[in-house]
Amino acid sequence: SASASASVPARALAALKHYFGYDSFRPGQSGLVSAILQGRDVLGVMPTGAGKSICYQIPATLLPGLTIVISPLISLMRDQVDALQDAGIPAAYVNTTQSPDEQDAVLAQAAQGNIRMLYVAPERLETGRFRDFASHARIALVTVDEAHCVSQWGQDFRSSYLGIGEFIDMLPVRPIVAAFTATATGKVRRDIVSLIHLRNPLITVTGFDRPNLYFDVIRMETKRKTPWIAQYVATHPGQSGIVYCATRKETEAVAAALNQAVPNLRAAAGGLSGENLPSDGPVAAAYHGGMTPEDRSRTQRDFVTDRVPVVVATNAFGMGIDKSDVRYVIHHNMPESIEAYYQEAGRAGRDGEPGRCTLLWNDSDIVTRRRLLDLGGDNERLDPEEQQIVRASKRRLLDGMIGYCRTTHCLHDYMVRYFADPETGRGQTGPVAVDRPTQQGVSTAKCGNCSNCEGDFETIDVTDIARAISRCVHDVGQSYGMGKIVAVLRGSKAQDLLNRGLDKVPSYGMLGSVPEARIRDVLNQMSVDGFLAVTEGRLPIVQFGPLAAQTVAPDFHYEIKRIQRRSSGRFRAV
Ligand code: ADP
Ligand code: ZN
């Protein structure tokens, strides 16, 4: 708040200038820093790049005692510690990359008060050696980074995070506790507060909207995706971009296709030859976790130094990469959640200049994502019931993503509401809460910076189809899957259907002249919007959702997006 930022202590500003060279705190930072310095617990919810680290690094330099930073990624600890040491802040880490002797040496230094900030993974808190150290050390602040990992409602649940609360309770003097995350929605936020045992924390949520980003959603057949991307890259020479793919194989295929197609497209377009193009060298490079560390760091370096303008990557790319002038991020496939999408797409335009985030998707992405979820790597640390919870929450996250692809409303607005509404997080009420366009009178203001607000799509009135689907779900007793419902509505003569007497229900053949794909589209959209609910499991069943009754109201009206057919090469300038 304004008063909190006004009261940010002068010594905090001085430390900011001294260690980091910055003149002022960003919105959100001042309140959190002040609160911590006053001894209050905090929860900071800030998007990646907003500057969470400063919020605990500055207090760490000022508080009398040690700051412990609990961080999930051992691989990033070294970078963080190196950067702090460069800035003149005594920092260290203890982790499994060190020998037991090295670990002991670090803890001895910390015990003597020679270290200000100590980075550890959550598993470390459970070891006897560390507990012994902690119960004798003077710990002023415990910082929990990526705090959403404590919640089973997020996508990165780590059961070792559940031990943090108990670790804090065990300390002889209770430290200040500061938790940070980029991706908390209502339910996750409540979990963080209760499971990490925060006491009356100051909760600050800042700036999830990125007004300089143009959001663009295009539904497109898979085989058209790569030619579309090639066209985009060809017509945006001199710009850096990231193309995210779902698999390692895909990154290599798309990178190869770009390297072949883009020079030809540019040559064919003529005119561009006079521009300042990277003369030789590839246009695109693949990046994924299966490459050697050397290859990966070379690709990173080439990208950051503008030797290769486009990186085609899996989601392994991006963490810890500091390139602020990425002009576009194109998703070749739909990510698993809005959180993931926001984080990846948000790598565009970090310098505040315009950036473009384009999501290419189609129904087979949804099928693939659902299948991955069902096969999905079981976490050995969880018991079967926990596995169920995690899976269900991942499904809800996916539904939020599907809703983004299908919504006809402002995409900026969708993002902001997704992250901002603490009481109706999806965990509680399902995807309906994040997008109820026609029913809830969601803002109709146009941001002018997304494809939906530009009206770059047409809608189709599917009211009659939606009514028929609803009728059919009723007719078959909410006990069949999507395939059967479509078959009944289309008046199929399949033996299996006749045997069950499904040709006798009133809605049989009601949509005989509507293409099957259209019925499926409407059905999917109805489930995203909460009119229907598709059960989970190997044989999903279509049932009524919380808003089902509305489909029989006289004024019910329903629209879906038409598949966009944009002439290739027509792009809004960014
Ligand atoms: P996050 O952890 O939220 O992703 P970081 O802490 O890595 O963000 O900060 C992102 C970038 O912003 C870093 O380069 C950091 O130095 C810079 N930054 C943070 N706070 C400020 C500030 N008050 N003024 C200027 N730059 C800042
Ligand atoms: Zn908009």
Lowest mean pLDDT among 14-28, 177-191, 459-473, 479-493: 177-191
Q: Are 542 and 523 in contact (CB under 8 A)?
A: yes
pLDDT of residue 26: 85
Lowest mean pLDDT among 372-386, 541-555, 560-574: 560-574
Please report the atom of ligand 1 found closest to the CA of residue 29: 23
Of 8, 16, 18, 22, the one to substitute when testing ligand 1's pocket (max ligand atoms within 8 A of C-beta) is 22
The ligand with the least distance to the CA atom of 216 is 2
pLDDT at 434 over 50: no
Q: Bigger pLDDT: 520 or 142? A: 142
Lowest mean pLDDT among 187-196, 384-393, 467-476: 384-393
Per-residue b/e over 395-429, b at no fewer than 16 CB within 10 Å?
Answer: bbbbbbbbbbbbbbbbbbbbbbbbbeebebbbbeb
CB under 8 Å to 38, separation ≥6 — which residues?
Answer: none
pLDDT of residue 393: 74
Please report the atom of ligand 1 found closest to the CA of residue 47: 3
pLDDT at 395 over 90: no
pLDDT at 98 over 70: yes
Q: Bigger pLDDT: 446 or 309? A: 309
The ligand with the least distance to the CA atom of 446 is 2
CA of 373 to the centre of ligand 1 (A): 34
pLDDT at 48 over 80: no
pLDDT band at 367 (very low <50, low <70, confident <90, very high): confident
Spatial CA neighbour of 462 closest among 524, 547, 402 = 524
Please report the atom of ligand 1 found closest to the CA of residue 322: 14
CA of 454 to the centre of ligand 2 (A): 7
pLDDT of residue 394: 80
Closest Cα to atom 23 of ligand 1: 25
pLDDT at 535 over 60: yes
Please report the atom of ligand 1 found closest to the CA of residue 23: 24
CA of 116 to the centre of ligand 1 (A): 20
Q: What is the mean predicted confidence (pLDDT) over 191-213?
A: 90
Of 43, 52, 53, 57, the one to substitute when testing ligand 1's pocket (max ligand atoms within 8 A of C-beta) is 53
Q: How many CB atoms are located within 10 Å of the residue 5 CB? A: 18
54, burial (CB in 10 Å: exposed 0-12, middle 13-18, buried 19+): buried
Question: Helix (H) and strand (E) counts for the chain?
Answer: 22, 17
Q: Bigger pLDDT: 171 or 432? A: 171
Tell me what percent of the residues of the chain surpass a pLDDT of 70. Answer: 88
Mean model confidence pLDDT for the chain: 86
Half-sphere exposure of 430 (CA within 13 A, CB side): 14
Spatial CA neighbour of 406 closest among 452, 368, 449, 441 = 452
Q: Bigger pLDDT: 568 or 144? A: 144
pLDDT band at 278 (very low <50, low <70, confident <90, very high): low
Closest Cα to atom 26 of ligand 1: 22
Q: What is the mean predicted confidence (pLDDT) over 334-351?
A: 90
Please report the atom of ligand 1 found closest to the CA of residue 182: 3
pLDDT at 323 over 50: yes
Please report the atom of ligand 1 found closest to the CA of residue 24: 23
Task: Name residues with Cβ closer than 5 Å to ligand 2, which is an ion.
Answer: 410, 412, 447, 450, 453
CA of 51 to the centre of ligand 1 (A): 3
pLDDT of residue 444: 52
Half-sphere exposure of 352 (CA within 13 A, CB side): 1
pLDDT of residue 569: 37
Q: Bigger pLDDT: 430 or 335? A: 335
The ligand with the least distance to the CA atom of 5 is 1
Closest Cα to atom 15 of ligand 1: 51
Residues lining ligand 1, judged by CB closer than 6 Å? 22, 25-26, 29, 46, 48-54
Of 13, 16, 18, 20, the one to substitute when testing ligand 1's pocket (max ligand atoms within 8 A of C-beta) is 20
pLDDT at 238 over 60: yes
pLDDT of residue 462: 94
Q: What is the mean predicted confidence (pLDDT) over 252-280?
A: 79
pLDDT at 18 over 80: yes
CA of 55 to the centre of ligand 1 (A): 9
pLDDT at 271 over 70: no
Q: What angle do CA 364, 368, 372 make, to 5 degrees?
A: 170
Closest Cα to atom 12 of ligand 1: 51
Spatial CA neighbour of 255 closest among 314, 192, 312 = 312
Please report the atom of ligand 1 found closest to the CA of residue 52: 3
Please report the atom of ligand 1 found closest to the CA of residue 46: 3
CA of 300 to the centre of ligand 2 (A): 32
pLDDT of residue 212: 92
Closest Cα to atom 18 of ligand 1: 51
Question: Which pLDDT tens digit goes with each residue over 463-501?
Answer: 999 999 999 999 999 999 989 999 999 999 999 999 999
Q: Are 528 and 431 in contact (CB under 8 A)?
A: yes
pLDDT of residue 298: 94
CA of 506 to the centre of ligand 1 (A): 62
CA of 54 to the centre of ligand 1 (A): 7
